Amino acid sequence: MNCRVLILSFFFILQACSTGSTKPPENLLSLTEAQMKIRSYQTRVFDLSDQQKTLRAVVSALMDLGFIVERVNAPLGLVTAAKFAGSGHSGFVEATVTIKPKGENQVEIRANAIFNTKPIEDPKVYQNFFSTLQKSLFSS
């Protein structure tokens, strides 16, 4: 009996200690070097001045890739699309593309994607997207 009380009290002390140390890390919202790297390969600058044409080309590229375009916000230059992937549609890919004018004759396009709630951080994935987008931008 005494042993049981001892184990229980030890457990409560442990729990009390653990609740005291659940402070969020200080660098939770700070930009790390890795994030800057990810951002750099998610972004490309194109020599284009027509924002509307660029937006339509982004939508077209996503549709070519089998994505379903869910939302388009023209003033923000934002396109959100998603598709099921894999055998038996076991995976779900979501992509967000933003189009921002850069100066008078350039646009900055940033794409980021998640696969089954996990962010995709492989640069090759974004290279493939931009190569498809390039075809769509300069063929229509």
Partner 1 sequence: MLFAALLTSCNTMPKPESFFQLSPSSAKYKALQSRIIETSKDTELLSASAAVLQDLGFQIEESNTYAGMLRAVKERSAREYSQEIGRVFVFILGIFAQTAIVIPVDLHQQIAATLVMHPIENSSSRFNVRIVFHRTIWKSDGSSGSQAIPPGLQSMEMIYDAKIYQQFFAKLSKSVFLEIHQI
Query: Residues in the site for partner 1, rule: CB under 8 A?
Result: 52-53, 55-56, 59-60, 63-66, 68-72, 74, 79, 83-91, 93, 113, 115, 120, 122, 124-126, 128-129, 132, 140
Give 13 or 70: the residue with its C-beta nearer to partner 1. Answer: 70
Q: Phi/psi at 96 (nearest 5 deg)?
A: -125, 130
Give 37 or 86: the residue with its C-beta nearer to partner 1. Answer: 86
Residue type, 97: V
Give 4 or 89: the residue with its C-beta nearer to partner 1. Answer: 89
What is the rounded distance in angstroms from the CA atom of residue 16 to the CA atom of residue 91?
Answer: 40
CA distances in angstroms from 17 to 4, 13, 128, listed in the order given: 20, 6, 49
